[in-house]
Structure 1
Amino acid sequence: MGQSRKRVGRDGKARYTAYYDDVAGRRRSAGTFASRRDADRAWQRADAKTAEGRHSDAGRGRQAFARYVEDEWFPNHSIELTTRQNYRYVLDKHILPVFGGYKMIAILPADVRTWVTHLKDQGVKPATIKYCLSVLSAIFTTALNDQITSLHPCAGIKAPTVPPATRRIITPEQYARIHAALPDEQMRLLVETDIETGLRWGELVELRVRDLRVAEGAVIVSRVVIEIAAKFHPSGGRFLVKDYPKDKAPRRVGLSAHVRDLLAAHVTGKAPDDLLFAAPARDRASKLEPVGDQMEFGMTEPNAVGKSYRHGTLTAYNMVPCRCQHCRNAYATYRAERRANGADKSRAANPPPLGETDPHISRSWFRQQIWEPALADAGLGFHVRVHDLRHAHASWLLAGGADLQSVKDRMGHARLTTTEQYLHSLPHADAAAIAALDHIRKRTT
């Protein structure tokens, strides 16, 4: 039970300090007051909050927000490595520069609203603001549970509305044009497997020979590989294999007879632990050597001072700066030669070239070297991401009459509402509705 104790200051005046016992039984001060009556009310309020489990530790609440986040919350917060990487970015970019010096108990809802408005004024995208607010809210939820604060300043704060993205699903004919433009058989088979299974990228490139069940006509998805920055990787690498996919449970995905046969032929001679699709080992210098005569590459557009330079040269790369493939190849070849001669000391801090130490196919390498050139050759007139193949897979299945539950299981969705988003997503999905409207209005064609 709490109590009030009389204290006499140097000025001879009496003051009263209120004491209460916290949830751990430790004696705490609820403040010092001019009258015993006020002190009694203070410890009684503190006792009541402690009994309800709502009392905060005033001493810990006065610590700086940055100290709490860096020393307690972030190191001990149990999250996936990719999420930790994303949290680190928004903390350093948008949260700590604003709130880092505040005391935990001094951050109020008005401060959070002002911060959200500031992000809007800076032109930060609504989706990014919403994500930043969710990170800040997670910090204060933990602080509230740990009784560091008695107020959650993010409660009731509204994030900007994030307009839903318009999803454009490619048709089978458009997909066929992309597929035909891919450079070799392995890449065509990888993309064919992707559109036939709807796997996420990390699931697709982590498939191994033992996951292919030829007799059953299926693949077993039980792992995923992620790409993260070296400082977040347990051993400083680039790829990390997780022993569970995103939905936390293995799933069986059936294959068409056509893809099953192609994959069976593809894995002939491979060991069970070999990847189905491995990154091509390559010599970076020879791979990136400009092909043809530089005189045929032409001149760049004038730079800010009106100077033009020939494509495929270091001068064009640095002085325009030009980022065409010829100029990028010239720069990459120059860097590779310096590394080979031991002149580039920064190599130890950078990931090694693709295929030197890890056989997984990098998402960025595939996008830049394989997918985007094929997309340009296909000439669809709009951009298609590799991930859009997964969207197309679900949409095609539903348009072809597959039931929602089987598509949900195949895609590895946690909720049926996620799968429902793919209903009527193909360009011709509204054809029946338009035909019905024309019929009732007695239109003729």
Structure 2
Amino acid sequence: MPKMFQDARGLWTVAVELPPAPDGTRRRKYIRRKSKTALRAALDEVEATIRKKGDVATSSPTVSAWADYWMTDIVAKNRRPKTVASYRSVIENHIVPVIGGTRLDKLNAAAIRKVLARMESGGLSSTYRRNAHGVMAAMFADAEREEKIDRNPVDLVLRPRKAVADLEVLTVEEAQRLLETFSASPDAYMWATFILTGARRGEIIGLEWDRIGEDIDLSWQLQRLEYAHGCRGRCGLPRPSECPKRRFIVPEGFEHRHLQGGLHLTRPKSRAGWRIIPLVDPLRSILDTARESATENPWGLAFVSGRAGAPSPIDPDDATARWNATRDAAGIDRPVRLHDLRHTTVDLLDAAEVDMDTIMDIVGHSTRAMSREYRSKANRERMRKALLAMSASLGYPGQ
């Protein structure tokens, strides 16, 4: 066993011999603890790692430094742009401010819980905290894989429990009222397409006329891609979008078509999302009318923004803001989000007794469970009729 001694500060210390460097240089790892017992336990861990892996790291980056490397060299090259943006937001706003200065080899379960607790005290939802847990799990799993740490501390922390969400879904009557009053909105045809297809935001605002015929081809969606410095930070400009050599962050093999600025058409993230659905009335007639009055644009988009005096693709965030204004103008006093129109479509299909497999095909879900989750829990009339039918089958008269 290596000799233990107390250094000038009174800390118990031991020097562990490691395999030499490629050039033959001697390598040692110093371990320091306040007590001899704690030092012996730490030494046992290091020696166990050496027996298992053949070596241990003698230096460790901070969480902040590792996050920069991880995002640039691993995530950006392998994940979809929207995922990259989501990860970066979580890291910059919630992980680095709390544990960014901590060395990887000093990370423990308490540090992970500290991040999640800070998010909870800030009023962030369980969904967002679960997302942060997932980001940290992936980030430190790669650190473990590259032998920067011996164990992923996130494995020791339970994922936050998912809260039961109350879906804000339009009723059949509200959907009918909206379709009738949409004529007062400049985006009337677009909102009708949302409700009558259950398609995602990017799929609708990225819809091109040459993909609308007997069917609607939902094989592309509009997204905003992030810029990265193409000069490796040498230009001195703070924003990558201002860099003279800026480039878009896209993984290898990622299909995309540039429209304008940071807006691109991209492929759906799964094969279930890449679908073609029949075009039937009333949407067929609605889109025929829309085509006659459509603004010509160089991209052939069915729906564009003309706020700047010239047609331009609709920014995803702008589409959400326009929906909120339209919803409020229609007298809907509940916070029904634009994405909730997909829930509404699933409810309408379910109420029409469409089978779950067909609903999956129409809205692009990969599993039946996902489609079932999109149904609202408040379709009391349908449940009442079902229970009455069951009672009648048992010989009890309905009320």
TM-score range, shorter chain: 0.7 to 0.9
Counterpart of 2:62 in structure 1: which amino acid?
A
How many residue pairs match? The answer is: 345
Q: What runs of 5+ residues in structure 2 fail to find an aligned partner?
A: 3-13, 32-39, 228-238, 249-259
Distance 2:314 2:45 in 1: 63
Matches within 5 A, 1:117-266: 117-184=117-184, 187-212=187-212, 214=213, 217-227=214-224, 239-248=262-271, 250-266=274-290
Distance 2:375 2:24 in 1: 59
SS in structure 2 at match of 1:182: helix
Distance 1:25 1:436 in 2: 82
Answer with 432-441 or 256-265: which moved more. Answer: 432-441
1:74 aligns with 2:80: no
Matches within 5 A, 1:79-98: 79-98=79-98
* Matched-pair identity in %: 19
SS in structure 2 at match of 1:279: coil
Give the corresponding residue for 2:336.
384
Deviations 1:180-229 (A, max 9, x none): 333547622211211121110111011111111x2xx2111111112366
Distance 2:103 2:124 in 1: 26
Deviation at 1:407, TM superposition (A): 1.6
TM-score between the two structures when normalised by the length of structure 1: 0.66
Deviations 1:318-353 (A, max 9, x none): xxxxxxxxxxxxxxxxxxxxxxxxxxxxxxxxxxxx
TM-score between the two structures when normalised by the length of structure 2: 0.73
Q: 1:90 to 1:232 in 2, by over 3 A?
A: farther
Deviations 1:129-181 (A, max 9, x none): 22222222221111001111111111130233231211243223211222333
Deviation at 1:275, TM superposition (A): 0.6
Q: 1:43 to 1:388 in 2, by over 3 A?
A: closer
Select the structure of larger CA radius of gyration.
1
Give the corresponding residue for 2:53.
50
Deviation at 1:112, TM superposition (A): 2.0
Deviation at 1:430, TM superposition (A): 1.3
Distance 1:372 1:381 in 2: 11
Give the corresponding residue for 1:335.
none
Distance 2:171 2:121 in 1: 40
Give the corresponding residue for 2:384.
431
SS in structure 2 at match of 1:18: strand
Contact 1:209 1:271 in 2 (8 A): no
SS in structure 2 at match of 1:94: helix
Distance 1:42 1:142 in 2: 21
Deviation at 1:42, TM superposition (A): 9.6
Q: What runs of 5+ residues in structure 1 fail to find an aligned partner?
A: 5-14, 284-355
Matches within 5 A, 1:274-353: 274-282=300-308
Give the corresponding residue for 2:349.
397
Contact 1:20 1:43 in 2 (8 A): no
Q: 1:372 to 1:17 in 2, by over 3 A?
A: closer
1:19 aligns with 2:45: no
Distance 1:42 1:26 in 2: 25
Contact 2:222 2:264 in 1 (8 A): yes
Counterpart of 1:414 in structure 2: which amino acid?
S
SS in structure 1 at match of 2:350: helix
